[in-house]
Amino acid sequence: MDRSKLKDFLRDPGVTLRWGRGETTGYSAVELRQGMLRWYRWSHELGERLDEVRQSREAYEAEGPARNAPPRVLAALKEALRAEKS
């Protein structure tokens, strides 16, 4: 167990938003933690993240999302970014 990673997570659990189209093998997600976004697909079969892309808040605001996501996810992410700023 990496105690420093656990301490970081407990200090800032962040926000994780997940979506899918009914697949049983995994889902897509974006995590917001300390002003950084992590976009990925989760594989239940492998138990790990796939196709991970990291994006800064600044890059997100300038370029938009690094991955396609449903409007409800983008709205929730916008709200989470706003809450993190305050």
| 29-79 pLDDT per residue, tens | 999 998 899 999 999 999 999 999 999 999 999 999 999 999 999 999 999
Comparing C-alpha atoms, which of 32, 28, 64, 68 is closest to residue 44? 28
Q: pLDDT band at 23, cuts 50/70/90?
A: confident
Structure tokens at 60: 């997100």
Q: Tell me, rounded to whole angstroms, the distance of Cα 46 from its chain centroid.
A: 19
Instruction: Say what the pTM is.
Output: 0.82
pLDDT at 11 over 80: no
* For residue 3, pLDDT beyond 90: no
